[in-house]
Each structure stands twice: as structure tokens, then as C-alpha cells.
Amino acid sequence: MGHYLKKVFLIAAKDLRIEFRSKEKIYSMMLFSLLVMVIFNFAFEPGAEYIKDVAPGILWVAFIFAASLGLSRSFVLEKEEDCMQGLMLSPLDRSGIYLGKVIGNFIFTMMIELVSLPFFAIFFNLSLTAALPPLMIVIVLATFGFIAVGTLFSALSVGIRGGDMILPLLLFPMQVPVIISAVKSTGMIMAGSGIETYSQWLKLLIAFDIIFFMASFVIFEYLIEE
């Protein structure tokens, strides 16, 4: 077990090292996330009061779009020199490859989200300091669910011609429960409500995370093995 986890983290660390080195993905995801916030802003009257009501939605659209951009590249890395085969040859259970990629994608996406968050606060003139601890719980739960399914679909789409175009078609409908829960609880947290008002949303996020992490963990092997 310790051996297994050590190798899982090895894969995640390898991914992070590569991404931090090329930086291409960091910049693209970061910029994309900010662009979504800015562009969406133009859909509303300048200075309108209701912007506070729609802000959580904009935040999550920005996060989800940026995360899917990152996911679409996740397995391209393994495809270029057929590294996936190299991983499959190693004495690590195939599920370990999935787990390693999930951890790498999760850490990376969380990082992009945390860096975008202050920009969000500035653009929409919000004070997030008090809301930050509960907001973190929501971000962690929602991001994990998104990445758990997203990593599976990323491995799938990289094996299809025109896969970049297909990935969002698979990802976005899957994320409906995540988006609704995340937007609702973020809204309540920003309005200063207590945890009892949005705990049911957190429960839904936890259910999503567990169901799709387990399912993807089991299915991954069937996906990659001919």
C-alpha cells in the first residue's frame, strides 16, 4: 500500500514538474479564468447591484472553463511519446495511474483557482476574507468532483480523433450537479449565511465526489486496456 501510494505521488509530482517547467498551461488557464470573469462582466449593467447575485455563477463558470482547458491537455502529455504505454508497463496497478493523474490535476487546478480568487474579489468588489474558510471547503469539494470525472474523460478524449472538441460535450453535462451545488453554496457563504443553510449542498458535492471517484477509479483500467 505504501509502495502503491509512493508511486501514485511520483506520477502526480512528475506531472506538476512538467507543467511548472513549461508554464504554458499555467498561463493559459490563469488567463482564461480571468478572461471569463471580465467578459461575463460585460453582460450586465455597469455598477448594478444585482451583480453580487450573479457573481458566484461567474466565478464557477470561470473555474470550470479553466479546469476543462487544463484537463484537455492532461493526457496529451502521456500520448506524445506514448508514455502511457511506459506507465502501463510499470509494476503499478493501472488504477494507480488514474489516481496519480487525479492528484496532479487536482493540485494544479486548485492552484489556478486560488490565484484567480483575489482577482474575482477585486473585479466584483467583494470582501472575501470572512467567507474564505467555508469557501475553501466548497472549492475543494467541487474541484475534486470535477477532476475525478474529468480525468477519466480526459484519458478517453485523448484517444479519439477530434477529442479536444468532444471533451467539453462530455464534461459540462456531467458537471451540472457540481455547478449548481457550488454556485448555490458560494452565494450563501458570500451572503454570510451559516453552514446549516448550505450543508445539504455540501452533502450533494460529497456524494458526487464519492460516486464518481469510485466509479472512475474502477473503470479507468477497462478504458485503457485493450
Partner 1 sequence: MKEKLKDALALATAVLVVSALYMVFIYAPTEANMGNIQRIFYFHVSFAWTGFVAFFGTFAGSIMYLIRKKRCWDILAVSSAEIGIAFCLVVLTTGPIWARPVWGAWWTWDPRLVTFLILTFMFVAYMIVRGAIEEETKRGRFSAVIGIIAFLNVPLTYVANVMWRTIHPDVIRPDKVDLDPRMIHALFMSMSAITLLYVILLLWRMDLEGMRDRVAELKKKIMEEA
Partner 2 sequence: MIEVSRLWKSYGPVDALRGIDLKIEKGEFLTVFGPNGAGKSTLLKILSTIIRPTSGKVITDGIDISSANEDARRRIGVISHKAFLYGNLSAKENLLFFGRLYDVPDLEKRIEELLAEVGLAHRANDMVRTFSRGMLQRLTIARAIIHNPAIILLDEPYTGLDQHAARMLTNLLKKLHTEDKTIVMTTHDITNGLEISDRIVIQILGKIVFEDRSANQTVESFERVYFEKVGEGK
Does residue number 170 form part of the binding site for partner 1 (CB under 8 A)? Answer: yes
Does residue number 143 form part of the binding site for partner 1 (CB under 8 A)? Answer: no
Residues 205-224, one symbol each (x = binds partner 1 by CB under 8 A, - = not), give --xx--xx--xx--x--xx-
> Using alpha carbons only, what angle is made at residue 54 by residues 49 and 56, rounded to the nearest 5 degrees?
125
Nearest distance from C-beta of residue 103 to partner 2, angstroms = 15
- Measure CA of the first residue to CA of the last residue in the chain; give whole Å: 26
Q: Using CB under 8 A, which of the segments 54-62, 64-72, 95-103, 155-163 binds partner 1?
A: 155-163
Q: Contacts with partner 2: how many residues (CB under 8 A)?
A: 25
Does residue number 203 form part of the binding site for partner 2 (CB under 8 A)? Answer: no
Q: Which three cell numbers stand for residue 99?
A: 489516481
Does residue number 219 form part of the binding site for partner 2 (CB under 8 A)? Answer: no
Query: In angstroms, rounded to a whole number, what is the distance separating the alpha carbons of residues 190 and 146?
Result: 22
Choice from 61, 88, 140, 174 touching partner 1 (CB under 8 A) = 174
CB-nearer residue toward partner 1: 125 or 197 = 197
CB-nearer residue toward partner 2: 8 or 205 = 8
Choice from 2, 47, 91, 173 touching partner 1 (CB under 8 A) = 173
Does residue number 16 form part of the binding site for partner 2 (CB under 8 A)? Answer: no
Binding site for partner 1 (CB under 8 A): 149, 152-153, 156, 159-163, 166, 169-170, 173-174, 176-177, 180-181, 184, 200-201, 204, 207-208, 211-212, 215-216, 219, 222-223, 226
Binding site for partner 2 (CB under 8 A): 3, 6-7, 10, 14, 17-18, 21-22, 77, 80-83, 85-93, 225-226
